[in-house]
Amino acid sequence: MITSRLPHVFFGGDYNPEQWPESVWLEDMRLMREAGVNLVSIGIFSWAKLEPRPGEYDFAWLDRIMDLLAKNAIFADLATASASPPPWLARLHPESLPQNASGTRYFPGARQHYCPNSAAYKSRAAELTRRLARRYKDHPALAMWHINNEYACHVSECFCDVCAAEFRVWLQARYGLIDELNRAWGTAFWSQQYSTWNEILPPRKAPTFCNPAQQLDYKRFMNDSVFELCLSEANILKQITPGLPLTTNFMGWFKPLDYFQWAKALDFVSWDSYPDPSLGMSEVANAAANHDLMRSLKGGQPFVLMEQAPSAVNWRTVNVPKPPGLMRLWSYQALAHGADGILYFQWRAAQAGAEKFHSGMVPHAGENTRVFSEIKQLGHELKKLDGILDSRVPAQVAIVMDWQSRWALELDSHPAPLQYVQQLRHYYDAMRELNIAVDFVAPEGDFSPYKLVLAPALYLVRYGGAENVRMFVARGGTFLTTFFSGIVDENDTVQTGGYPLLLRDVLGVWVEEWDPFPPGRRGTVQVHGSRDLVACDTWGEVVHLCGAKVLATFADGWYAGKPALTLNKVGEGRAFYCATQFERGFTLGLLENICADLKIAPPLEKIPSSIEVCVRSKPEADYLFVLNHSDMPQTVKLQKWKGVDLLSGKKAAGTLKLGPFGVAVIESK
Amino acid sequence: MITSRLPHVFFGGDYNPEQWPESVWLEDMRLMREAGVNLVSIGIFSWAKLEPRPGEYDFAWLDRIMDLLAKNAIFADLATASASPPPWLARLHPESLPQNASGTRYFPGARQHYCPNSAAYKSRAAELTRRLARRYKDHPALAMWHINNEYACHVSECFCDVCAAEFRVWLQARYGLIDELNRAWGTAFWSQQYSTWNEILPPRKAPTFCNPAQQLDYKRFMNDSVFELCLSEANILKQITPGLPLTTNFMGWFKPLDYFQWAKALDFVSWDSYPDPSLGMSEVANAAANHDLMRSLKGGQPFVLMEQAPSAVNWRTVNVPKPPGLMRLWSYQALAHGADGILYFQWRAAQAGAEKFHSGMVPHAGENTRVFSEIKQLGHELKKLDGILDSRVPAQVAIVMDWQSRWALELDSHPAPLQYVQQLRHYYDAMRELNIAVDFVAPEGDFSPYKLVLAPALYLVRYGGAENVRMFVARGGTFLTTFFSGIVDENDTVQTGGYPLLLRDVLGVWVEEWDPFPPGRRGTVQVHGSRDLVACDTWGEVVHLCGAKVLATFADGWYAGKPALTLNKVGEGRAFYCATQFERGFTLGLLENICADLKIAPPLEKIPSSIEVCVRSKPEADYLFVLNHSDMPQTVKLQKWKGVDLLSGKKAAGTLKLGPFGVAVIESK
Amino acid sequence: MITSRLPHVFFGGDYNPEQWPESVWLEDMRLMREAGVNLVSIGIFSWAKLEPRPGEYDFAWLDRIMDLLAKNAIFADLATASASPPPWLARLHPESLPQNASGTRYFPGARQHYCPNSAAYKSRAAELTRRLARRYKDHPALAMWHINNEYACHVSECFCDVCAAEFRVWLQARYGLIDELNRAWGTAFWSQQYSTWNEILPPRKAPTFCNPAQQLDYKRFMNDSVFELCLSEANILKQITPGLPLTTNFMGWFKPLDYFQWAKALDFVSWDSYPDPSLGMSEVANAAANHDLMRSLKGGQPFVLMEQAPSAVNWRTVNVPKPPGLMRLWSYQALAHGADGILYFQWRAAQAGAEKFHSGMVPHAGENTRVFSEIKQLGHELKKLDGILDSRVPAQVAIVMDWQSRWALELDSHPAPLQYVQQLRHYYDAMRELNIAVDFVAPEGDFSPYKLVLAPALYLVRYGGAENVRMFVARGGTFLTTFFSGIVDENDTVQTGGYPLLLRDVLGVWVEEWDPFPPGRRGTVQVHGSRDLVACDTWGEVVHLCGAKVLATFADGWYAGKPALTLNKVGEGRAFYCATQFERGFTLGLLENICADLKIAPPLEKIPSSIEVCVRSKPEADYLFVLNHSDMPQTVKLQKWKGVDLLSGKKAAGTLKLGPFGVAVIESK
């Protein structure tokens, strides 16, 4: 359980009382109670209010709101308020403003206008954190800490001179000797050899493609720089309030931050989910994948949906509302994938500022509205779900997710502009269509819980990662990887002698050359034992066997007849290699067969494609979530499942009927 | 009459004799006389010639050309020459160069490279104006003043430190106390609260969306800053030549400048019209709308078409010429909508410079050309039209045009990227198809001349504007407004409690939530009393009635059955509310019915769609302009109209035949 | 012969041993010998290795590799290593970094990060050149010099203050008096008149279109600035190693550098050719055109293909490999068009750096690969072709190529965005389809070898160029030019009085006005003596005859019936004028007829369209190259040709069979 102070499914949202007169606060309390709110995030953008002038603090208003919350039995997820510095910081410390690769400064007027290596920002944010922690450490409303907010969402890289200096320090720690850096970065290319550390700069705007290893190290350095900010606040909080859980809100696939690294510093993972209601099932699958990823960051511990929109957002070009029922459905989707809390941005729709057209739990039009009604309905329903708290999502399949591989894969001047997440999604989506639960795992993470590990587009492979795969397969695991995997080491240096050098023995193949497909080109593949041709796209390559057997071959082009899909048996295990992107249906069938072989079964078989089913388990009970993602009623056969639908309170067995966007949570003991 | 010195329809163009040897000047005079030119704009880009070195003036060449003009009975619209400072200004005062939001300077080499708050620019431009006024105040050729040129067309915003300082002064004057600014800007959002004025900056490039009220105030400040430049020159001229009319050339819909505010400082409005001949009737309608807007800026007083192209322009990607007859037709369109003068850019096509491929009245190929022939024909025809001078365009319908609402509507992070002019055009174009004259009016302007006032997308409503509507309707007026109107106050702060708060009583509806349509989505509407469905696009919303009756309802989506079009009766008046963008034909029918009810009739009924008819009136006579916008002959029934076609000199009654791009101006006494 | 030291077809590539441990060098020597490599380019990006710290040189490694080359009978094309300065240069001399028009610096991290007017860069590059020349002047491996590399490919313009100062010096030399510059630039327009030289700046980012003559002069100045760099190194080399040929590698159509000017400073022309294998015959034609242009730069002397890709490149979005046979075919295409050497970028595919995914002669997977096999095959075949060395490509047709006209044509604010190369290609491609050899020639170049000279889109015509045309036609030549030719003089000043003034007498027509076509618009033309209409696009215009006769007229639009194609007879010669872009087939037929009239015949008549035939000749023999650009076998009738196919060693006569991408080189004595 995330905190024993609040042994319920968290329900609430970002609360910004400083934007409203105090007269509104009392109405807020009444409405929060009506809606069943038990937790609010406060103070996220309050720095300027808490420290209106440098060193001059004002906590009186926050005292009042914290007391009011306590009086109303609502807990606070209290922010460290460092997400957006007050205007005076930029005036006192112009060098604290971040700079892009062209040297353009980002000015105040929005939010997050700080260089992550700014000493002034860091010391003042730390001081504010310290004062907040000391002042509220014993406050009865305080349930947990919310560090900063969506770290790096707008400024994930800064290229200023301060960062340049810190980068050199970081590089010295990493490489020790300048010649080691020269070797790692391959600076013999294009006359880039450094003779002293102080010649090194961030990968600023250059005449053409920058050194890729320099770019990759800069992404690592920036991830580490921002992480240092988080650690610095976390350490202060841990010292002053050792018993309180802390988190910072993540953003799903967000590329710049290696969340596997970050999650270790947090007590629980929380994240912000904003699918576009105007898009279809692919957007639903994306949300599911993100929930699974967030759950996986701390080994399956429950996470919190820290922000979602009650209805429309404001930052897309066209921002459509969530039609009736969709907000509820997507909330249950989060719970189904392992969340123990559902919160929103934000409590009350703002009147002013850049997000005034973002929906609130209480809309501009007030409490007598559709949106607030749906909020209330959900808040009360959730009280029936305390049983799911701390249950886990059992998964026998994992997909490898490696931020470093992604950073490197998506650098410039590659054979083709492959997108890492798109490659993962091809396999994730197929598993989701099969309704088989998936975890994500780091390449050096623990593969032992899984029967099947998929590692699409794992471009950068470290020695430890290759060893991990090798041991997993040797011990009987089934492994699958795809084209353009295992190409480079951690310095983005190509491993010569036939790709993918470090995985060659496991896969039983080596690749001689690649044939990336221009947009629109499609190829065909002949599956052995079948007469039909299968379509493929994105990529082809010339594969040679060194142990594997061929399951399918390319059927056109100058390498027709050469392997497109192979299987290698190693000890107890097996390793598949996909040399192209197969059409969706083929991938689905391939994974279905593999799962059938491995006796990995979905909770329900052969259900309509718009139905999602998920299971959460704890020793005493299993919970089957059945989610209808269509706006039409659906009927689902429950097969072996029997129990009670916690939402309706009725027995569930045999056939389940779900209304449009309907949900059932069947407890089976 | 604009000036009694020149009691004729003005005819001429921009004249840049400094680009040609004096030998050409004599030929110019001969050709101008041949063409019937009676007015030329001179000196617009002559600063460097008039003040070749700082403080060193040379008026000799201008004396000669002014004398030559006088000798040839051609009047001068003399420019203050401040539109483009000489290169020496940037060298002496680098800080006079404007800066964009990213801090990039705009350098000399083109034109308009000055910061509108540059003290150096301002004082030197003023000094030049003063000297010009003193020197030529009694010159017989001088008919009027042309202040600067197309203010702000390339540089409408500057973000430099000088502007930042002036912005603070402007804000102090507006808000008095910093806390008042904090309230107005909603700085409690995102920790933007200012503790002192000197923390405030222009809305420079920031990590994400800037504070919208800051952005809006910056647009106001920039409009005011540029207006100050104009006022400064106008005041000098008014003092030295109190009897001479002055103008500056506007640019139609041009967004950055609030021309209603500007027009007050001018003696007459003039503008530059450059429709693209490669586009169809929508471009013709756009020109018509702009003429009507320009006429409306000073309450219907005649305006001047200060610039149009004799044939092609040079600044589009592909610049097509005007085919034979089109230049003449479009000139008459300007007169039909209230112009008392037709001028061109420019007299003689240039040999050098960035506009050398812009057509001239005298083309590169000289006088024996199609273009010069058409110029001559028109110049001589216009002599027959002295009667129309100072006549007015009677209109019973007005469309509200509010620059501030437009600035605010088109800020970022809105529900959808609505374009203000596009919204106005939907209604304007329907009125134009009905051939019913339309004025534009400011939201706090005088509505009393009108039976019908349309206010599409009036997003920002000030208290005075709402009162104006309320009184108009109470006194029997018919008012129509549309979705996303009345959302915010003048600080861009949302008015909570059900939109549009300030117009709720007039409209008899309130709106709970919006459903902007993604591109390509279309909806349907059921009109009461009709069996057919009407298509709609752009927007849907959930409307509740509080007094109005429903005329049509949404026919699909989750708010099917809710109002899409309502009518509220208030006292003598009526107010329509459109909750979506109806398909063109429906809007046309709606307005046709409203006009029929109000007994607002077009000058001619049921004429072909490519025919435009307009009326100008004065006590002694009415003038019916009939314009054939197609390249095919057309026949028009004149119905009740009888008179003399001033162009052909023939009696006109019964049936009128017009050739391709043909025109008739029928005087009816 | 380029150098008597190496009397064979050059074969090899860029060799970067500094990227590899010395142990690999020995393997390199073995593989080079196996592949028949006789020449490698070395040192191109070795500056940082040769001068690791300012003034501290290290030639030991280069000594070793040069000795190794000599020992293995491989020659060195030794680079001056100035293409990419070491990181220390930017640290010592930040002002040496180039700046774009907005003032943004380009930083180190890639390559070519130097301002072409940087004194620091220039002196240090010169010193390194001097030391290299002195050290290796007598080395037995040294065959030739490779100055810098792909000059200006990433940074073709710099706008920094140093360049501004140098630009003023350049302008003073060109114009002498400031008033002469004012006249040439037409600064009377937009108040741009300069009173002193030091007011002049580069055409930096300005509020709108910069002065076109200023832009054009800046392109000239930048071309000259970069050329000065080349000259400075060439002069050092000529002094120290007077007997050794020197080159720098060009880039085909590359716009910023006037290669006709540059070629004069080189002993032979070399260039880098990178067609995209995913594109079709148009890409093949483009490569052919570039080969012909490169050959023409030094009057037909053999050139060297200095770089091509063994298979895929890395810098496109999607980089497809060359399928089997294509690399060989394209190599022979270069020889067929006049090359005496075939080299690659690069010898060994790199493991690190921005080009690690560019193919190498030795791929990542090593020597047992398709690519290395094809390299070896070709290397050995080429030994049979020593006979072609120094033979020439006889051409009776030339196309005028003028860099200055191109620079001016492609400036902004023109009637339409015509692309110079696209206009040339329309005519070049037709000639290529006819298999008739084409030279390119500068407008003031020697037209006397040609019967037919084509000059499409020759927008800027200098007096000498017009004279050249006039004399060519007078002496019996056939000349063809097209719309928008002869519009401006060398200052981009329009020649008034009916376009194209300077060519009016030759063409017998004058043009009154233009009608550029918006995208998608097509017109029709009536050919006299034919009943069918011919399609046209891009442009129409109003043409008047003054001596020419009409061959075709426009068939639609308001100038229907006016000339679209004319022919003028002048003395012995003829001049065609095309007032529009005819559909491809018509242009082909027109040129075919003209060639038939002039008795210009292709080496083979009526061959399949995927077959390219070219002839190289020397006094003792002719060489017929037959190239099959399709991936299907083809049969070609050899007609009058008889001889020996040098590749197969067999007699060739009658019918020739070519495999997919097959080639024959038939020697006929």
Same-domain status, A365 and A293: yes
Q: Choose among C193, C198, C513: nearest Cβ to B91.
A: C198
Is residue B606 a part of any domain in this protein? Answer: no
Chain B neighbors of A110, CB-CB under 8 A: 190, 206-211
Q: What confidence tens digit (pLDDT) does each residue in A473-496 have?
A: 999 999 999 999 999 999 999 999
- B166 catalytic? Reply is no
* Residue C253 token pair: 């159509």
Residue A262, H or E segment: helix A259-263
Same-domain status, C565 and C454: yes
pLDDT tops 90 at residue A65 = yes
Instruction: Give the residue among B288, B371, B303 at the shortest CA–CA distance from B341.
Output: B303
From chain B residues 315-334, the ones with a CB under 8 A of any chain C CB are 315, 317-321, 323-324
* CATH number of the domain bearing residue B616: 2.60.40.1180
A223-228's contacts with Cβ under 8 Å and 24+ in sequence apart are A223/A256, A223/A257, A223/A258, A223/A261, A223/A403, A224/A170, A225/A116, A225/A117, A225/A163, A225/A166, A226/A116, A226/A151, A226/A152, A226/A156, A226/A256, A226/A257, A227/A257, A227/A261, A227/A262, A227/A265, A228/A116
pLDDT tops 90 at residue A532 = no
Same-domain status, C250 and C333: yes
From chain A residues 176-195, the ones with a CB under 8 A of any chain C CB are 185-195
Is residue B437 a part of any domain in this protein? Answer: yes
CB contact under 8 A, C365 and A496: yes
- A381 catalytic? Reply is no
**Chain A residue with Cα closest to B196:** A88
Same-domain status, C105 and C243: yes
Name the band, by pLDDT with cuts 50, 70 and 90, for residue A37. very high
For residue B237, the model assigns a pLDDT of 98
Is the Cβ–Cβ distance between C41 and C14 less than 8 Å?
yes
**Chain C residue with Cα closest to B348:** C496
Beta pairing, strands C339-344 & C303-307: parallel
Same-domain status, B61 and B139: yes
Please report where in the chains the tokens 């429906």 appear, as a residue. Answer: B586
Find the catalytic residue in C150, C233, C433, C612. Answer: C150
Q: What confidence tens digit (pLDDT) does each residue in A632-655 have?
A: 999 999 999 999 999 999 999 999
Beta pairing, strands B339-344 & B10-15: parallel
- Give the list of residues 6+ apart from residue A432 with CB closer than 8 angstroms, or none: A285, A288, A289, A438, A612
Q: What confidence tens digit (pLDDT) does each residue in B522-536 have?
A: 999 999 999 889 999
Is the Cβ–Cβ distance between A457 and A400 less than 8 Å?
no
From chain A residues 92-121, the ones with a CB under 8 A of any chain B CB are 98, 104-113
Q: Choose among C208, C491, C517: nearest Cβ to B110.
A: C208
Bridge partner residues of B249 (DSSP):
B270
Q: What's the rounded Cα separation, in Å, for the pair A18 and A45?
A: 9
Is residue C404 a part of any domain in this protein? Answer: yes
* CATH number of the domain bearing residue B123: 3.20.20.80
Please report where in the chains the tokens 């025809």 appear, as a residue. Answer: B381
Given A388, A423, A457, the domain boundary residue is A388
pLDDT tops 90 at residue C532 = no
Find the catalytic residue in B51, B166, B307, B612. Answer: B307
Is the Cβ–Cβ distance between B8 and B389 less than 8 Å?
yes
Given C597, C629, C647, the domain boundary residue is C597
Is residue A254 a part of any domain in this protein? Answer: yes
**Chain A residue with Cα closest to B490:** A352
- Please count the other Cβ atoms lying within 10 Å of the Cβ belonging to residue B516: 25
Q: For residue C373, give how far its alpha carbon lies from the nearest alpha carbon of chain B (Å).
A: 50
Is C412 at the interface with chain B, CB within 8 A?
yes
pLDDT tops 90 at residue A74 = yes
Same-domain status, A327 and A424: no
Is residue B218 a part of any domain in this protein? Answer: no
Same-domain status, C258 and C306: yes
Q: What confidence tens digit (pLDDT) does each residue in A236-257 have?
A: 999 999 999 999 999 999 999 9
**pLDDT, mean of residues C102-130:** 98
Same-domain status, A308 and A414: no
- Give the list of residues 6+ apart from residue C83 with CB closer than 8 angstroms, or none: A191, C44, C45, C47, C111, C112, C148, C149, C150
Instruction: Give the residue among B275, B309, B280 at the shortest CA–CA distance from B290.
Output: B275
Chain B neighbors of A84, CB-CB under 8 A: 190-192
Same-domain status, B187 and B288: no
Instruction: Give the residue among C495, C427, C424, C426 at the shortest CA–CA distance from C460.
Output: C495
- Strand segments, DSSP code E, in C45-101 are 75-79
Q: Is B130 exposed, middle or buried (0-12, 13-18, 19+ CB in 10 A)?
A: middle
Q: How far is CA C43 from CA B279, C6, C132, in A?
A: 58, 20, 10
**Chain C residue with Cα closest to A542:** C370
Is residue C218 a part of any domain in this protein? Answer: no
Q: What's the rounded Cα separation, in Å, for the pair A11 and A77?
A: 11
Beta pairing, strands B142-146 & A611-618: unpaired
Chain C neighbors of B110, CB-CB under 8 A: 190, 206-211
Is B630 at the interface with chain A, CB within 8 A?
no
pLDDT tops 90 at residue A300 = yes
Is residue C603 a part of any domain in this protein? Answer: no
Is B203 at the interface with chain A, CB within 8 A?
yes
Same-domain status, A140 and A258: yes
pLDDT tops 90 at residue C636 = yes
Q: What's the rounded Cα separation, in Å, for the pair A489 and A145?
A: 38
For residue B571, the model assigns a pLDDT of 86
Is B8 at the interface with chain A, CB within 8 A?
no
**pLDDT, mean of residues C398-419:** 98
Residue A566, H or E segment: strand A563-570
| pLDDT over 90, % of chain A | 99
Is residue A428 a part of any domain in this protein? Answer: yes
3-state secondary structure at position B527:
strand
CB contact under 8 A, A19 and B515: no
Is B87 at the interface with chain C, CB within 8 A?
yes
Q: Is the peptide bond before B500 cis (omega within 30 degrees of 0)?
A: yes
For chain B, how many structural domains are there in total? Answer: 4
Q: For residue A489, give how far its alpha carbon lies from the nearest alpha carbon of chain B (Å).
A: 34
Beta pairing, strands A249-250 & A246-247: unpaired
pLDDT tops 90 at residue C490 = yes
Same-domain status, B452 and B593: yes
ipTM value of the model? 0.97
Same-domain status, C420 and C304: no
**Chain C residue with Cα closest to A192:** C86
For residue C571, the model assigns a pLDDT of 86
Full domain range(s) for residue A142: 10-157+224-388
Instruction: Give the residue among A382, A297, A392 at the shortest CA–CA distance from A342.
Output: A382
Which 8-state DSSP code applies to residue B364? T
* CATH number of the domain bearing residue C463: 3.40.50.880
Which chains share 3+ C-beta pairs under 8 angstroms with B? A, C
- The list of chain B residues with pLDDT below 50 reads none
Is C522 at the interface with chain B, CB within 8 A?
no
- Strand segments, DSSP code E, in B475-582 are 478-482, 509-516, 522-527, 533-537, 539-545, 549-554, 563-570, 573-578, 581-582
The HSE-up count of residue B657 (CA atoms within 13 Å, CB side) is 3
Name the band, by pLDDT with cuts 50, 70 and 90, for residue C52. very high
Q: What's the rounded Cα separation, in Å, for the pair C72 and C37?
A: 10
Given A568, A597, A626, the domain boundary residue is A597
- Please count the other Cβ atoms lying within 10 Å of the Cβ belonging to residue C536: 26
